[in-house]
Structure 1
Amino acid sequence: MGPLIGDDGVARCPWAGAEASLMRDYHDREWGRRVAGEAAYFERLTLEAFQSGLSWATILRKREAFREVFCGFDADRVAGFDDADRVRLMDDARIVRNRLKIEAAVTNARATVDLRDDVGLEAFVLSFAPAGPPAPEDTESMATTSAESVALSKALKKRGFAFVGPTTMYALMEAIGVFDPHLVGCHRRED
């Protein structure tokens, strides 16, 4: 399926929907746009891990609660979470309560702090940008992994990160604008 014309007459990637919605707002305002700073990268990395196996709409609906309970995705603060914090998070129905994903968020915060001694999370992720970004014309030609997302996944795992598989890293690269993920013909393509 190629771009879908919405009720507003604008062509978008079909997952954004034809009518105004949270997903359409996310598509138009955020998806595929560069973010800056460690907290923004750590947030997206964490949310993509929590999304694994779930719909992105579920994560978007819970994003403000995630921001609150993970201290604005301040890696130093999350790295200091203890057992009481893990229990608090498992008891908070406003977020996705998955013990392994919560543990991964704390692990990844610690790895993010450690990565500062080298290049930092933002520069590290950006160093895996593809030389020739994809230009899919329809959903059938959209990838879910790439050589770069596989390499990023392996490199992050070597640095102590968890829940950073190739598909999750591809979704991260799309979401934060490491490359333009929009379909050719979408109003956001090369915007």
Structure 2
Amino acid sequence: MDRCGWVGSDPLYEAYHDHEWGVPEHDSRALWEKLVLDGFQAGLSWITILRKRDSFRAAFQGFDPHVIAGWGADDVTRLLADPGIIRHRGKIEATIGNARAWQAVEAEGGFDRYLWNFVDGRPILNRWKSLAEVPAQTDLSLKISKDLKKRGFKFCGPTIVYAFMQAVGMVNDHLVTCPCHAKVAKMGQAARPGA
């Protein structure tokens, strides 16, 4: 398979690329989990986060924002002692704050709807031929980043947001030479659920 060049040969990375990356995600909780994990990735490689994802899910109660929103200093201390995750105080504290911010957006009409409205409910279909063409951020990721920050989210700069958009299928950045490009494009042709 002629996968996107960033994948390499790690079976975990291959499975992530083939079955998750770029697939349109419409579950509000799953979207929030991915945004949090992309925030934890800042300064690290995605494979590092992917290898720790199960430990993150255990430590963060399945990434249930309703549970995490009620956490405080004792939970931060507990998480800072957990070797299975990235032990970064700022990112852990941001996750708790982001859970509260998520609750507010979810109550307004859904985190899913909020995010997908930025792309009119359908993925942006790019046709990159090489990794060199793929941007690290875009005007749209900057706009979404600013709006998330205005709503109280942290660790969501425009580069993190663009990586998130790629991962959750808001943008199809599989290279045109990758078999997943056509597969993901077909998935994105359907209108967003509830649109």
TM-score normalised to the size of structure 2?
A: 0.89
Secondary structure of 1:188's partner?
Answer: helix
After the TM superposition, which segments of 4 or more aligned residues of structure 1 sit over 2 Å from their partners?
Answer: 129-134
Partner residue of 2:89?
A: 99
Partner residue of 2:13?
A: 23
Structure 1, residues 104-138: CA drift from partner, whole Å, max 9, x if none?
11110000001123222111111222885322110
Partner residue of 1:5?
A: none
Structure 1, residues 52-109: CA drift from partner, whole Å, max 9, x if none?
1001010000000111111111111010111110000000010000000001111100
CA RMSD of aligned residues (A): 1.4
1:86 aligns with 2:81: no
The structure with the largest helix share of the pair is 2
Shift of the alpha carbon at 1:20? 5.1
User: Structure 1 residue aligned with 2:25, among 14, 17, 35?
Assistant: 35
**Separation in 2, partners of 1:106, 1:88:** 13
Partner residue of 2:140?
A: 148
**Separation in 2, partners of 1:190, 1:174:** 15
TM-score normalised to the size of structure 1?
A: 0.91
**Separation in 1, partners of 2:125, 2:147:** 20
Partner residue of 2:174?
A: 182
Quick check: 1:76–1:109 contact (8 Å CA) kept in 2? yes
**Structure 2 unpaired stretches of 5+:** 184-195
**Structure 1 unpaired stretches of 5+:** 1-9
Give the AA of the match of 1:31: W
Quick check: 1:67–1:73 contact (8 Å CA) kept in 2? yes
Q: How many positions carry a matched residue from both structures? A: 181
